[in-house]
């Protein structure tokens, strides 16, 4: 009876990034006694939820993402009201890509079928609307008008604050070392033992460390992204105050993955412009990964398409993506233990979905039917047998 009762919960969530924080938020709002565990001291910049900004958009090739974003936007607005902070700024999203390319066409049709407000920009009027950008020959462009920026650090803190306001408990500096499945799951950290009726694992780049504690291995690859900021030759030319939009360049000539950017905002005079892929890394040795080939790709792209930026980065920060083979998320119950739920592999595009990911993970952990068809996010699609390491 060494375990005193206050260490027993309805649910434990491992990992206090945006997905874990929103999962805990929904559980607490559903009157579940919830513990949110984090291995590092909060707030931190080691994972995938830090930094000032993220793009929020409905422009997707897949219908299931566009439809989830409808509710996600409503829930972001609700969190702004609950926390009394601004989390979203409308900028619009410029989407450029090969006019006849499959991806560009899919995004356009998804936008139309989901009635997402958008404006097609004809080539002859492009530079009137979007000064200081060269549209690639053969590319077409449209603007998703209600897309914009999420204030990332602030959003994580807001979700955690509302969670705590509903009686939720956050404990940081709690690295999980053991998980014992059962009708009550036991979670052991470096400094405590906790028990709960259900467990949600949202461990980001550390999923491949935590999931094997439950006998499960998923094909997750951790990559380090160089988050690059580029100096405006004329200050303000790409700024949020001058109504410059976020953008995504599909199939750039320079590389195989997309390039994206956000207007100058957090660092005045600097525009954030990144390559949507990086080099594989160990999450605990992130800064040993010094590959800069993505910076060279960006530099060439900027010289060609963004003539108003100095094509040499002024600031380079890092962020981790945890990537699945098909770049779709994992949102599922554990194949062996139905009271263990997994959210993983957000592949560099999950932040904007936080409110709705948290909702479905909380529904799974409460034994409810999830609000969305989660088959695109199932563990079964990888055809990996759960390794019975237990």
Positions annotated as catalytic residues are 50, 53-54, 272, 276, 319, 352
3-class DSSP state of 321? strand
Angle at 261 between CA 260 and CA 266, to 5 degrees: 150
Q: In degrees rounded to 5, what are phi and psi of residue 211?
A: -60, -40
CA 145, distance to chain mean position in Å, is 21
What is the token pair recorded at 155? 């959003």
Tell me the sheet residues that pair with 340: 199
Burial 220-257 (b: 16+ CB within 10 A, else e): bebbbbbbbbbbbeeeebbbbeeebbbbbbbbbebbeb
What is the spatial distance between Cα 277 and Cα 279, in angstroms, rounded to a whole number?
Answer: 7
**Is 119 exposed, middle or buried, given 0-12, 13-18 or 19+ CB atoms closer than 10 A?**
exposed
Scanning the structure block, which residue is given the tokens 């994580």? 156
3-class DSSP state of 54? strand
What is the spatial distance between Cα 23 and Cα 202, in angstroms, rounded to a whole number?
Answer: 9
What is the spatial distance between Cα 363 and Cα 113, in angstroms, rounded to a whole number?
Answer: 28
What is the spatial distance between Cα 134 and Cα 110, in angstroms, rounded to a whole number?
Answer: 26
Pairing of the two strands 221-232 and 34-37: unpaired
CA 60, distance to chain mean position in Å, is 14
What is the spatial distance between Cα 379 and Cα 338, in angstroms, rounded to a whole number?
Answer: 13
Tell me the sheet residues that pair with 149: 55, 89
- Please say whether the beta carbons of 108 and 169 come within 8 A: no
Residues in CB range of 137: below 8 A, 6 or more apart: none
Tell me the sheet residues that pair with 151: 53
């Amino acid at each position: 009876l060494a375990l005193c009762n206050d260490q027993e919960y309805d649910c434990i969530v491992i990992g206090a990034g945006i997905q874990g924080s929103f999962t805990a938020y929904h559980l607490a709002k559903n009157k579940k006694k919830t513990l949110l565990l984090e291995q590092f001291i909060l707030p931190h910049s080691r994972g995938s939820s830090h930094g000032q900004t993220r793009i929020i958009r409905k422009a997707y090739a897949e219908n299931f993402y566009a439809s989830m974003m409808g509710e996600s936007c409503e829930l972001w607005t609700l969190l702004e009201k609950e926390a009394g902070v601004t989390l979203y700024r409308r900028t619009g999203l410029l989407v450029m890509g090969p006019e006849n390319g499959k991806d560009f066409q899919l995004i356009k049709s998804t936008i139309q079928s989901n009635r997402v407000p958008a404006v097609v920009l004809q080539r002859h009027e492009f530079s009137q609307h979007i000064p200081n950008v060269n549209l690639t020959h053969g590319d077409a462009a449209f603007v998703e008008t209600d897309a914009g920026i999420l204030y990332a650090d602030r959003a994580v803190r807001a979700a955690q604050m509302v969670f705590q306001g509903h009686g939720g408990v956050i404990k940081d500096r709690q690295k999980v070392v053991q998980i014992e499945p059962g009708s009550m799951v036991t979670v052991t950290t470096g400094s405590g033992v906790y028990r709960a009726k259900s467990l949600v694992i949202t461990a980001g780049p550390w999923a491949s460390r935590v999931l094997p504690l439950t006998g499960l291995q998923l094909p997750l690859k951790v990559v380090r992204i160089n988050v690059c900021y580029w100096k405006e030759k004329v200050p303000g030319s790409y700024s949020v105050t001058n109504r410059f939009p976020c953008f995504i360049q599909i199939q750039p000539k320079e590389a195989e993955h997309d390039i994206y950017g956000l207007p100058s905002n957090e660092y005045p005079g600097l525009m954030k412009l990144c390559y949507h892929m990086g080099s594989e890394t160990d999450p605990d040795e992130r800064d040993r990964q010094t590959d800069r080939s993505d910076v060279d790709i960006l530099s060439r792209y900027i010289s060609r398409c963004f003539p108003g930026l100095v094509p040499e980065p002024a600031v380079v920060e890092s962020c981790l993506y945890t990537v699945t083979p098909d770049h779709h998320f994992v949102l599922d119950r554990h194949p062996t233990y139905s009271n263990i739920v997994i959210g993983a592999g957000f592949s560099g595009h999950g932040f904007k979905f936080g409110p709705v990911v948290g909702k479905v993970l909380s529904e799974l952990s409460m034994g409810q039917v999830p609000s969305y068809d989660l088959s695109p996010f199932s563990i079964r699609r990888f055809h990996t047998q759960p390794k019975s390491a237990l």
